[in-house]
Structure 1
Amino acid sequence: MRTSIATVCLMGTLDQKLVAAKEAGFDGVEIFEPDLIASPKSPEEIRARAQELGLSLDLYQPFRDFEGVGPDLLEQNLRRAAAKFSLMNRLGIETMLLCSNVATARSGDEQLAAAQLRELGVLAERFGVRVAYEALAWGKFVDDYEQAARIVRLADHPRIGVCLDSFHILSKGHDPQAIETIPAAKIFFVQLADAPILSMDVLSWSRHHRLFPGEGGFDLAAFMGHLVRTGYDGPVSLEIFNDTFRQSDPRATAIDARRSLRLLEDETLTWLGGSSGGRTEQMSARPLPAVEPPADINYVELRTGAIDDMRLLLEQLGFSSHGRHRSKSVELWSQGAARVVLGRPEPNQPPPTVAGIGLSVRNPATAFQRAIDLFATEIHRPEGPGDEPLVGVRAPDGSEVFFGREGETAPRWVREFGEPSNRGTGLIERVDHINLAQPWQHFDAGVLFFHSVLDLRSQPSMEVAAPVGLVRSQVLRAADGVVRIALNLVPSGANEDAILPQHIAFASSDVLALAREARERGFHPLDIPANYYDDIEARYDVHPELLNELKKLNVMYDRDETGEFLHFYTHPIGTVFLEVVERRDGYEGYGALNAPVRLAAQYQQRRATREVPA
């Protein structure tokens, strides 16, 4: 599959965008006209630079408001087109994108549009270029790809074809199956974009909320499957209008973009039944190594400068210390199957707090190779004599993901630490979920990373009100629900008052018993206001005895149609805090209605701490 990306997807100068596309492994780029106009380099220099990088220049775009106009305006439009065709010759680009008219068309007569496109085709032939006609979702008269294909067929000129754009097709709810009725020779270009499913005007949706494949809600595997069946073998390009991407590091964005296409290539093969071969298929596609679904979270690594405070907190919750690693500056704490590797931040690096996650999989080598094939960066773990080999990659936010072998009661790497100081209470069983704060530029990339590498599936996203703004939360979970990772988007402009929504939640068999025992060991939970418990009593009619215990222990409560949820929080240590949860009778949620109360309590606690005189 020939891959391409529109320069509009990336931040920076045109040269920076070309370099980022090349480093991410794209075959070519679309030149977005404003990028060319703003460039100090001549078209010939841009052409030479692309050749130097080994990139093809696949498309010049966009050309607007051509067809359906009166004779005088048509003459002006042909003059404009001739100037652009001449420019394309200088750039060495053979195909121009023509968007359906949104402003100047005065007639929706398809015969008129076809006749005018035929005149454009005659002009294009003089310059040796082609025109790919695209139906914009908000086109004045042409907003349907089947209609655009029909007009191209009526135009009947070898230099006139269609451009298929997944956003314009799927945002309008059009069925992509009819793509198979378009001759491959008439499909001149293909643009891909995903998007969240939103209820808003399609122009704003398109201009600000497009996403890379796999980050939104469109069925792009089906779209691609129908395309492959036509026999199309030209470029498959990403055209993403997204405010975040255009403010982010272009290299990181380009890698995320390339990852999305690699995943889509694999998903398209699955949709086609495991092979890109067939009656008319020509586009080559490669499968990824099989997904290795994580069986559990076998450890979480925390990095904090307040390491003594974290040790004390873990002791109060009943964790046992195994001591320091025999060759590394980290230590291990455990209770049940919950393990915390504790260390200090790396020098001269901002601490990610939750620095790493260890996952148990059936075949670590396969999981690792899938991640590498999806353009993740390998992490080389220093190994001392007798250390268990672990393979890992880096997530977009800089945290580490390591793969270990499932089926072991205690992973072999645990032996590299000492024996536990005591066996603890055993009231904590395992890690229930991890909540990772994501900088604004890494949120969508994080969703795609965990989905593509581990096949964690996105749950409906939600926004939680906090004193510092709205916190967007996206939970990804394994099919069996054992591994759950929540990504929280840090509010834009968050200042030092913001509590980063980053924490580890441990599953307990008896939260109330653990809260009582922890208190006996000196633990002070996050204070929950009395108003919250008044609301709980009114909302759920909780038994007075249980309600009093919840209030006394600062334990929060939720209930749904299946079961109950009890949980409490610790005070933050730096930018991390811990949570202990108990799920009763199949409860699957996270106490979403409690999150604003927790965020407000943390905010108040931080401000009160800062205002205490030294």
Structure 2
Amino acid sequence: MRKSIATVSVSGTLAEKLTAISAAGFDGVEIFENDLLVSPLSPEEVRARARDLGLGIDLYQPFRDFEAVPGDVLAGNLRRAERKFEVMERLGATLLLVCSSVSPDAIDDDELAAEQLRLLAERAAGHGIRIAYEALAWGRHVNEYLHAWRIVRMADHPNLGTCLDSFHILSRGSDPIGIEAIPGEKVFFLQLADAPLLAMDVLQWSRHYRCFPGQGTFDLAGLVTHVLETGYTGPLSLEVFNDGFRQADAGRTSLDAMRSLIALEEAAARRRGTTPPIPPPVIPSGFAFAELSVPAADPTAELLAALGFVRTGTHTGKPVELWEQGQARILLNATGDEPALAALGLESPDPAGSVKRAESLLSPVLPRHRAPREARLDAIAAPDGTELFFCRTEHPDHSSWTDDFRPRPEGAPPAGGITHIDHVALTQPRHHFDEAALFYRGVLGLRPQESLEVPDPYGLLRSKAMSSEDGALRMVLNINQVGAQHIPWQHIALACDDIVTTARRLRAAHPGLLLPVPANYYDDLAARYDVPPELRELGLLYDRDEHGEFLHLYTITAGRVFFEIVQRAGGYQGYGAANAPVRLAAQHAWGAQRSSRMAVTPSA
């Protein structure tokens, strides 16, 4: 289907918006009036710029507070409309969005509203323009989409139809099934926006918290399905008011917007039982590896050895070491300034299919130098820059990426050790959090869980978990809401069969490796749960849900990375979020102590 977006959805000048929207592959654009008013470009220049960029001007908006008013007010409204029609002719726009009135002059009289809208449509027809009437969720008298449709039907003019807006429909809890009663030819336009579920005034909710499809909680696929059942053939168009999007890079925002529409079109096709426009998701079955970029002389290898990892290989052509324990694999790439998570290997049952899926959602394969005999591993970039490789580590029909490493057996890991990577947590740049959630949902087929806000001593940490349906792949996305920019950015959680044995070994052999936990935490834990006293002794944290229990501990931080060791029991589904404030406070305290020691220690 044709895809469009309102200029209000992205940042920048009108010229910059049009350029970014075109580069993202959109077919058309809604010109938001304020963007035109503040632009130095004339309507003719905007029309030419859009044409040169391959963009149609699908809608001009908004025209407010027109219908159901006294005669003297109507006269002024018609003069105002004539001026807008003249501007639209210069723009080459043939569809005007008219919002239901919020004016105190408006009269609660549907027949009067229909009569005046018919008059407006008649005037518009003289300019080759059509009118799309939309029910604002906070409209003074008309705030339901079926109410707006009744008025349009009463007016009965070929140049008057309705605009359906997903936010105005779903924010009020209206049932979209009624859309199917509207003839498709009278649905002049469809505007789409998602939103998180918030308990607040609907106007403020609309003006600041809309987001792209797939980033909120609305069932947009269901709504679009109802619209398509009417026979609607117009564009899918995004109209998103969001404070973060207005500050973010217009190019990235536009690409994210297009990705959301492609994914939405796919979801709607599945609802309707038709062929989706893109390849299906290939769900990863786990982590093949986590790659850390580290300085050439760095103690991260010592930290891995202390955790029980064994260096099992060195790359044949790159400064990369392979460290293993169970099915957990960590690569150390000696090309960084400080330890940081640079890449993740994802086990894919069909790496080529994973690549096709990613490319269809505007995530191209990254250019990568590969030696002639080196295993082919294609990678894409996640929104935070982390590279994601699609791997099949063990397969009878082809060689493994591990064959690129010369064996260096250096002993066996200790008993009761780590089995695999349980999950990875990545802190996202401030304006890329929703983009990341949509990326992992669309490209990898992960399911989002509830977004949480975790208190930090210096602000809030917003967090959203994403996982495959079977829990084989788990990721956590974090963002700092305010302050606390120096907290660790990334962490790797390692699954363990016997965390008590592992904790005892680490406490005995490497007492400074584990993050200290305040005694107050254990006093509160004992009041809430009947847990063994050894948890306090070993510095283990505890959580439970309706499925089971969770034990975990944290290492101190190396560069931007720290490790977590976890043990799930009885089908526990969470991530120990209840303990995150304790961990954050402990990390701040440890970091402050470390800085103090470094400040008073003379350099060698």
Give the TM-score range, shorter chain: over 0.9
In structure 2, the residue matched to 1:10 is 10
> Which of residues 491, 500, 504 in structure 2 aligns to 1:516?
504
How many angstroms does 1:391 deviate by? 1.5
Question: 1:506 aligned to 486, 491, 494, which one?
Answer: 494
- Which stretches in structure 2 are left out of the alignment for 5+ residues? none
**Change beyond 3 A, Cα 1:76–1:307:** farther
How many angstroms does 1:329 deviate by? 2.4
Q: 1:462 aligns with which of 429, 452, 455?
A: 452
Structure 1 residue 353: Cα displacement? 2.2
1:436 positional shift: 0.5
1:600 aligns with 585
For 1:538, the equivalent position in structure 2 comes to 527
Structure 1 distance, partners of 2:427, 2:166, is 31
| Residue of structure 2 equivalent to 1:316 | 306
Tell me the distance in 2 between the aligned counterparts of 1:611 and 1:325.
38
Q: How does 1:233-382 map to 2 (within 5 A)?
A: 233-275=233-275, 286-305=276-295, 308-345=298-335, 353-382=340-369
Match 1:528 to one of 510, 517, 521: 517
What pairs with 1:118-129 in structure 2 (closer than 5 Å)? 118-129=118-129
For 1:268, the aligned partner's letter is: A
**Residue in 1 aligned with 2:472?**
482
1:279 paired residue number: none
Indicate how the Cα distance of structure 1 residues 561 and 55 shifts in structure 2: closer, same or farther if over 3 A, else same: closer
Q: Distance in 1 between matches of 2:468 and 2:488?
A: 24
In the alignment, is the contact (CA less than 8 A) between 1:67 and 1:105 conserved in 2?
Answer: no
Matching residue within 363, 379, 400 for 1:412: 400
Task: Please give the alpha-carbon distance, in whole angstroms, between the structure 2 residues aligned to 1:560 and 1:494.
Answer: 29
Coordinate RMSD, CA, aligned = 1.7
Equivalent residue letter for 1:550 = L
* C-alpha deviation, 1:501, in angstroms: 4.7
2:574 to 589, 593, 600: 589
Ranges in structure 1 where 5+ consecutive residues have no aligned partner? 276-285
Conserved in 1, the CA contact under 8 Å of 2:457 and 2:585?
A: yes
| C-alpha deviation, 1:491, in angstroms | 2.7
Q: Give, in whole Å, the separation in 2 of the partners of 1:151 and 1:58.
A: 23
One-letter amino acid of the counterpart of residue 474, structure 1 = K
SS at 1:103 equivalent: coil
Among 376, 383, 408, the alignment partner of 2:370 is 383
Give the Cα–Cα distance (whole angstroms) in 1 for the partners of residues 382 and 482 of structure 2. Answer: 21
Cα separation, 2, equivalents of 1:294 and 1:490: 28
Name the residue aligned to 1:442.
432
Q: Which amino acid aligns with 1:45?
A: E
**CA distance in 2: counterparts of 1:53 and 1:517, whole angstroms:** 64
Give matches, 1:70-89, under 5 Å.
Answer: 70-89=70-89
Letter in 1 for 2:548: G
CA distance in 1, matches of 2:210, 2:184: 26
- Give the distance between the partners of 2:335 and 2:185, measured in 1 at CA: 57
The alpha carbon displacement at 1:422 in A equals 2.0
After superposing the two structures, state which structure 1 stretch, 199-208 or 414-423, moved more.
Answer: 414-423
Does structure 1 conserve the Cα–Cα contact (< 8 Å) formed by 2:294 and 2:336?
A: no
Task: State the Cα distance separating 1:407 from its structure 2 match.
Answer: 5.2
Could you tell me how far 1:328 is from its partner in structure 2?
1.6
Q: Which residue of 1 aligns with 2:383?
A: 396
Q: Pick which of 79-88 and 305-314 moved more.
A: 305-314
Cα-to-partner distance string for 1:486-530 (whole Å, 9 max, x where unaligned): 0001233444xx313520000000111112222344252000011
Give the direction of change, closer, same or farther, for the CA distance of 1:307–1:397 in structure 2 (3 Å limit): farther
Q: Are residues 345 and 327 of structure 1, via their aligned partners in 2, closer, same or farther at CA, if it must alter by over 3 Å?
A: closer
Within 1, Cα distance between the matches of 2:55 and 2:22?
Answer: 7
1 CA distance for matches of 2:263 and 2:339? 27
Alignment match, 1:165: 165
Quote the offset at 1:406 in angstroms.
Answer: 6.2
Determine the C-alpha separation between the residues in 2 that align with 1:181 and 1:271: 19
CA distance in 1 between counterparts of 2:371 and 2:219 reads 47
Whole-Å Cα distance in 2 between the matches of residues 11 and 422 of structure 1? 56
For residues 349-386 of structure 1, what are the alpha-carbon distances to aligned partners after superposition, in whole Å with 9 as ceiling and x for unaligned? xx792211111111111111011000013112321132
Aligned partners of 1:554 and 1:568 also within 8 Å: yes
Q: SS of the counterpart of 2:365? A: strand
Q: Could you tell me the percent identity over the aligned residues?
A: 51
SS at match of 1:163: strand
Write out aligned runs for 1:169-184 (5 A). 169-184=169-184
Partners of 1:41 and 1:345 in 2: how far apart? 48
2:393·2:402 contact (CA, 8 Å) conserved in 1? no
Structure 1 residue 319 displacement after superposition:
0.3
What is the alpha-carbon distance in structure 1 between the residues aligned to residue 436 and residue 297 of structure 2? 27
Distance in 1, Cα, partners of 2:80 & 2:488: 52
- Whole-angstrom CA distance in 2 between matches of 1:174 and 1:338: 48
Q: Which amino acid aligns with 1:542?
A: V
TM-fit CA distance, 1:411: 7.5
Rounded Cα–Cα distance in structure 2 between residues aligned with 1:75 and 1:316: 81
| One-letter amino acid of the structure 2 residue matched with residue 510 of structure 1 | D
Give the distance between the partners of 1:219 and 1:407, measured in 2 at CA.
39
Q: Distance in 2 between matches of 1:307 and 1:191?
A: 55
Q: Which amino acid aligns with 2:421?
A: V
- The answer to whether the 8 A contact 2:384-2:429 is kept is yes
Structure 2 match to 1:283: none
C-alpha separation in 2, matches of 1:366 and 1:60? 40
Q: What is residue 554 of structure 2 aligned with on the other side? A: 569
* TM-score w.r.t. length of structure 1: 0.94
Q: In structure 2, the residue corresponding to 1:40 is in which secondary structure? A: coil
Contact map agreement 1:440 1:492 (CA 8 A) in 2: no
* Offset, 1:611: 1.8
Q: Which amino acid aligns with 1:507?
A: A
Q: How does 1:197-212 map to 2 (within 5 A)?
A: 197-212=197-212
Q: Which moved more, 1:486-495 or 1:104-113?
A: 486-495
Instruction: Assess, with a 3 A threshold, how the Cα gap between structure 1 residues 306 and 174 changes in structure 2: closer, same or farther.
Output: farther
Summarize the alignment of residues 79-118 of structure 1 with structure 2, pairs less than 5 Å apart.
Answer: 79-118=79-118
Matches within 5 A, 1:14-33: 14-33=14-33
Contact 2:6 2:32 in 1 (8 A): yes
Deviation, 1:322, is 2.6
SS at match of 1:241: coil
Q: Is the 8 A contact 1:59 1:94 kept in 2?
A: yes
Query: Contact 1:318 / 1:518 at 8 angstroms: preserved in 2?
Result: no
Q: What SS does the corresponding residue of 1:418 show, helix, strand or coil? A: strand
Deviation at 1:587, TM superposition (A): 1.6
Q: Which residue of 1 aligns with 2:40?
A: 40
Which amino acid letter does the alignment assign opposite residue 566 of structure 2?
V
Instruction: Give the aligned partner of residue 280 of structure 1.
Output: none
